[in-house]
Every structure is written in structure tokens, then in C-alpha cells.
Homo-oligomer: A and B are copies of this chain.
């Protein structure tokens, strides 16, 4: 239907846009049209100063007229550079990362385009599978570089890619102070400091925390932000619950915190998932988030907007993250000596769950 391979190249066939069966305009077509060599066309486009201004003019006009675009495969073959960046997608889990993936991919695709690159996806569920998928893309010369998301301490992907000698940048730190790693991360510690300061500004003095301090540097880091803010604001040491990052754990955590003698009136959480669990926990006790207990999350996931009440959360600056990742890769590909590392502050998005006013 859309294209019938059995009748390639019949002139006038839909999709026929040049003298070739496949309908693509090549360097040679432009050259013939102008009456110069293919080489001059290539130069006019890639080394403008190697060609006289006049011919350059004529060539560019022909390029525009014929709609010439360089063939990606030919260029990649010749230059040993595909202008493709490998990215993994994984099965959606109901956790923070998954909810943001589309926004992140969009931002990354946009930044890549700015660098003249495209994203190629690979699919993998475990770390081993992911490494294998990267290896395949690399062995088939499909990519110039990779962007890894969710880098963590003891990340096996990092030594693997490094050993292969392929440039890569990570969203998330490795937490081992590796000076040779190109990374971008969001400062969760600063984020929880901001959330804590915000609820304190609403008059709350007993600020509890729900997070997952074990097993993850990210969790420890966010918790540290809460602790630091409590200390610097002279709040009494708040209660905290450390749980895995899932909804029911957040729900249970809310009950545990509120059952205590010295129950907090505000709860800052290390993720939206946990915060939404806390919201449910509150509602199960007949309490209203915001009016009775302030609650904040982390990630500003779409869910945060849609929960009842709206969840105050910390927005990750994904556009900036994507931009810095691509810039870091460009540096690596250009042979930069020292890798870029950038730590970005999340932005507090205030909604009803942390405000005393009537629940809207």
C-alpha cells in the first residue's frame, strides 16, 4: 500500500523525488544540476571556505531547490560517526523515574536535535540486559555515545561502557566522586531543604520525613536535606520513617507517624509515590492534607497535579538536565580533557497539600 517495493522507480510514483529508484536526492544529483563535481557540493556544505563565493551560492541554491539532504548511512559510514545517541527505555514501574520518562525523552530529543543528533532506543529490563543492549548498538556501529539514566552507586554499566571506550553521560551521579564521569543530577538535598523550609514557613514546627534512606544514595541525600533544614531552622528533631519507595509503604508510614505521641503536622517525602501514599493514609484517618497535615513529594509527576488535593512537589529541571547531558557528550566527542558535571536545583511547586487554606 503506502509503498509497493515491486514497482520501484517508475517515474511519477508517489515518493519519487529524484532520478534514483528510491527517490532520494544525492550529492551527485546536485553536482550535475549545477555543473560542478560532487566534491565541490560537499565542500560548499561542509567547508564553505574551500569554494568560491559564487559557486557556493549556486550550489546552495540547487541544494535548496532539489531539497538535498545528506544520506545518514553514507555519511556515518564515511565519517565513522552515526550522530545517534543510545538511550534505554524500560518497562514502566510505578516509581518516580518511569513517570518522568516521556518528559525526559522529549527534552533529550530536543537537545540532541540541537546537536544534529537523534536518539536511538534500546529496550532492556535488568542491568545485565541493558549492558548487552548497549554492547549490541556499539558493535553494530549504531551509536556515537550513550545517555544512561538512573545512575547509582556501584553502577555496573559505568565500568562496562568505560572499558569499551565509548563516550557516555549519566543522569544521576555514581556517588563515588569519580572525577572522570560526565554526569548531570538534580540536587535532592537542596530540594528537601526547600520543601522543609516551605512547610516551616507555613508555621509547622514538627516536620516528619518519609523516605528510603537505606540502599540508595539518592534516598540518603534527600533525607540529609530534610535534616539540614530542620537543624538550620531550629526545628525539633522530627520523626521519620524509612521505607521502600512504594505507595503502600507511604500509606503505612503515614499511620506510623501519626500514631506516635509527638505526631508531626507536616511530612516531607522523598518521592511523589510515597507522598501519595501518605495522602491516602491521612484520608483513611479522616484527616485532610493541607488543612490538617502538610505533605510534600518529589518529582512533580503528572500524578501530583491530579491527586486530591494537589500535591506540592519538587520539579526536576529536565530541559536543563537534557541540555547539559548533550553538551557533556559533545565535549567528550570533541575530545575534551575534563568531563562536565552539573548539579541542578529542583523547583518547589506549591499546591494545596502543603497549604493551610481550604482544600480546593
Contacts and interface: CB of A to CB of B under 8 A. Distances in A.
Interface of A: 1-6, 13-16, 22-25, 67, 69-74, 76-77, 80, 82, 84, 87, 89-92, 94, 98-99, 101-103, 105-106, 109-110, 113, 118-123, 136-137, 139-142, 161-168, 180-182, 247, 273, 276-277, 279-280, 283-284, 302-303, 305-309, 332-339, 359
Given A72-B141, A101-B102, A106-B123, 17 more contacts: A1-B180, A2-B165, A3-B332, A5-B335, A14-B165, A25-B139, A70-B140, A73-B73, A74-B77, A90-B106, A98-B102, A98-B302, A101-B105, A105-B105, A118-B120, A118-B137, A277-B306
Given A71-B77, A161-B2, A306-B276, A106 B89 contact: yes
Contacts of A5: 333-335
Nearest to A21: B80
B308 A306 contact: no
A189 B338 CA distance: 57
Nearest to A284: B359
B121 A3 contact: no
A163 B76 contact: no
B306 A94 contact: yes
Contacts of A142: 72, 118
Contacts of A91: 103, 106
A73 B70 contact: no
Contact of A166 (B2, B164, B306): B2
Nearest to A309: B280
A15 B118 contact: no
A343 B283 CA distance: 40
A253 to B, nearest CB: 15
A162 B91 CA distance: 32
Nearest to A3: B165
B69 A140 contact: yes
Contact of A165 (B23, B103, B332): B23
B122 A109 contact: yes
B165 A16 contact: yes
A345 B89 CA distance: 25
Contacts of A338: 1
A219 to B, nearest CB: 19
B73 A302 contact: no
Given A67-B139, A92-B102, A120 B305 contact: no
Nearest to A279: B308
A71 B4 CA distance: 27
Nearest to A144: B3
A128 to B, nearest CB: 16
Nearest to A74: B77
B139 A121 contact: no
